[in-house]
Amino acid sequence: MWLIDSSIGRKFIMSISGIFLVLFLLFHSCMNIVVIISPSGYNAICGFLGANWYAVAGTSLLAAGFVIHILYALYLTYQNMRARGSEQYAVKKNQNGVEWTSQNMFVLGLIVFGFLALHLYNFWFRMQFAELTGLHTGMFDAADGASYVKALFSSWIYCVIYIVWLSALWLHLTHGVWSALQSLGLNNKIWLPRVKVVANIVSTIVILMFMSIPVYYLLGFGA
């Protein structure tokens, strides 16, 4: 199967799953920003996306996307380490123009993944999971997302943790978005710099929308 056996096939899966996750993030961030504008509106969306079949199906698909992206990342990284060989360079420097993020995607991915677990516990476990299982896992109603958000970000430590996490995600995205397009072959000499700019804009917008929430609470507006 060329999607597993071939290096470009594997990169194709990485790209497609990556782009899928970016689209999810775009949707997620648009949704989140509502909590600042209107907490009740936000709760309405939370209710809409609760334990309904389409939301569950979407979540499963999303989870599958994550799992594929992560499994392929592990596989690719393992292979690349083998290709590098057993001896490492004693001195290795980066030439100008090589982004730090591009060389550290796996590490950034790990950071993002680590915080993701926390994030799932903070929100998903207390909301969609609670609704699905009928268990009462949090202090508020499962559909009252706005209260959960407010409660969590009343702690400045959580605000900072989320800001750090989102920064790592931002770095991951700045390389990931253009890299996905490059791997799909949607690039050429003229578009190479343009694609990079577009990628930076998309990832920055997504992250700014996400980040506005902890910053909003950290600055005391949501109190």
Partner 1 sequence: MEKSINVTLKIWRQAGPKVKGKFETYKLDNVSTDSSFLEMMDVLNEQLINERKEPIAFDHDCREGICGMCSMFINGHPHGPDGEITTCQLHMRNFKDGETITVEPWRSAAFPVIRDLMVDRGAYDKIIQAGGFVSVNTGGVPDGNAIPISKVDADEAMDAASCIGCGACAATCKNGSAMLFVAAKVSQLALLPQGRVEAAHRAKLMVAKMDELGFGNCTNTGACEAECPKNVSISHIARLNREFLSAKFKD
Residue 189 in contact with partner 1, rule: CB under 8 A: yes
Burial class (CB in 10 A: 0-12, 13-18, 19+), 127: buried
To partner 1, the closest distance from the beta carbon of 197 in angstroms equals 15
Which residue stretch of 141-149, 158-166, 173-181, 203-211 sits at the interface with partner 1 (rule: CB under 8 A)?
173-181
Phi, psi of 153 (to 5 degrees): -85, 5
93: region left, alpha or beta (phi > 0 left; psi from -120 to 50 alpha): beta
Residue 174 in contact with partner 1, rule: CB under 8 A: no
Q: Which helix (H) or strand (E) holds 63?
A: helix 53-84
Residue 1 in contact with partner 1, rule: CB under 8 A: no
Q: Which amino acid is at 131?
A: E
Residue 197 in contact with partner 1, rule: CB under 8 A: no
**Out of 38, 40, 52, 103, the residue judged to bind partner 1 by CB under 8 A:** 103
Nearer to partner 1, 82 or 223 (CB): 82
Residue 184 in contact with partner 1, rule: CB under 8 A: yes
Separation between Cα atoms, residue 146 and residue 140, nearest integer Å: 10
Separation between Cα atoms, residue 200 and residue 153, nearest integer Å: 27
Residue 175 in contact with partner 1, rule: CB under 8 A: yes
Residue 164: how many CB atoms within 10 A of its CB?
A: 12
Nearer to partner 1, 97 or 220 (CB): 97
Could you list the residues that contact partner 1 (CB under 8 A)?
Answer: 2, 5-12, 76, 79-80, 82-99, 102-103, 105, 175, 178-179, 182-189, 192
